[in-house]
Structures are given as structure tokens and as C-alpha cells.
């Protein structure tokens, strides 16, 4: 008996769901089917089918079109910035800047700047660099892909923590007179 009551109770929620309808049905006595309305329905289904097929065709058959052109404007200048670090004194380095014909030397006093730099580290800077390399090696060896994750996310280690060269350093005094060209 219990089982029979359980079956009856389970049908009641199903009946409630069946009766729940957002769009109530129209009685058949109010519906009139004609050949004209059937033709309109067939025409609409055909239009929908053609639209679907054309969209599928456009998606499946794409064509990449490459278009190249030559810049014929020879009067414009190309601005080019090159940053090169060379371990040599500035007075030993020269640059020949020529135009596109290779004959005319371009004014490089105004277009080229040289700045002296020091390539040796102080003892404190070397110690800091060794510690940085050791910690980077530890991260790379222990956590394998951690250095790639840090690189991909753009994590930058604070460069202000790197010790600066003291003001009374012989290299710093030498650079004071050569700040530019």
C-alpha cells in the first residue's frame, strides 16, 4: 500500500509541470489552416534554410587575400633608434651614417649620442649579483617552471635593490666628464 501511495505522490509533481505552460494552447476550434498560410510557412523555412547554408558555406570556404604595395614616397625619412652597448671607450668608436645612395654623409653630431659606461662591478655589486644568480638558479632547478611563470607574468625584481656605485669611485669620477657627446 505504501508503494502505491508513493507512486501517486510522484505523479502529482509531474502533472503540475505538464500543466505549467508559459504559452497557453489555443483550442483547435479557433485554428484555421489554409493553403496560403502553409505556403508562407514553407517559404519561411526555405529562406531560413538558404541563410543557414550560405553562412555555413561562408564559414567553410574562406580565402586569405594578401595585398602588398611599394611605398613610392622617397622624400620621407625613416627614424631609426638603435641602442648598442660596446665595451670600448667612446673615442675608439666611430659611425658612418650615409644616405640611401651611399654617397652623402649624414650629420651624425646631432643624430648620434655616445655615453660612457663602466663594465666592472664593485665588490658589493658582485656579491649582490652572485646572490641573485644563486637564487635564480635555485628557483629554476627546484621549482622547474617557476622562472617561466615569472617571465610570462612580467614579474620584475626590484632593480633599486642593486647597490649603486659610490660617488667617490674612480670610475664614477671618470664618467663625470664624459656624459654625452
| Tens-digit pLDDT profile for residues 43-99 | 999 999 999 999 999 888 878 788 888 878 777 766 777 777 777 777 777 777 776
- Among 89, 58, 51, 75, CA closest to 171: 89
Residue 180 pLDDT > 50: no
Determine contact, residues 178/92, Cβ cutoff 8 Å. Answer: no
- Among 165, 161, 160, CA closest to 123: 165
Amino acid at each position: 500500500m505504501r508503494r502505491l501511495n508513493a507512486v501517486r505522490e510522484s505523479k502529482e509533481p509531474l502533472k503540475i509541470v505538464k500543466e505549467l505552460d508559459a504559452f497557453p494552447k489555443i483550442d483547435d476550434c479557433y485554428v484555421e489552416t489554409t493553403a496560403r498560410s502553409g505556403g508562407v510557412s514553407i517559404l519561411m523555412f526555405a529562406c531560413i534554410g538558404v541563410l543557414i547554408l550560405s553562412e555555413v558555406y561562408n564559414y567553410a570556404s574562406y580565402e586569405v587575400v594578401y595585398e602588398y604595395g611599394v611605398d613610392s614616397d622617397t622624400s620621407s625619412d625613416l627614424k631609426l633608434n638603435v641602442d648598442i652597448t660596446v665595451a670600448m671607450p667612446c673615442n675608439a668608436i666611430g659611425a658612418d651614417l650615409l644616405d640611401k645612395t651611399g654617397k652623402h654623409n649624414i650629420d651624425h653630431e646631432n643624430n648620434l649620442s655616445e655615453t660612457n659606461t663602466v663594465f666592472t662591478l664593485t665588490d658589493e655589486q658582485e656579491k649582490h649579483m652572485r646572490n641573485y644568480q644563486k637564487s635564480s638558479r635555485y628557483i629554476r632547478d627546484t621549482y622547474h617552471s617557476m622562472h617561466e611563470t615569472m617571465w610570462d607574468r612580467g614579474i620584475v625584481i626590484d632593480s633599486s635593490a642593486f647597490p649603486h656605485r659610490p660617488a667617490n669611485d674612480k670610475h664614477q669620477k671618470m664618467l663625470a666628464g664624459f656624459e654625452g657627446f
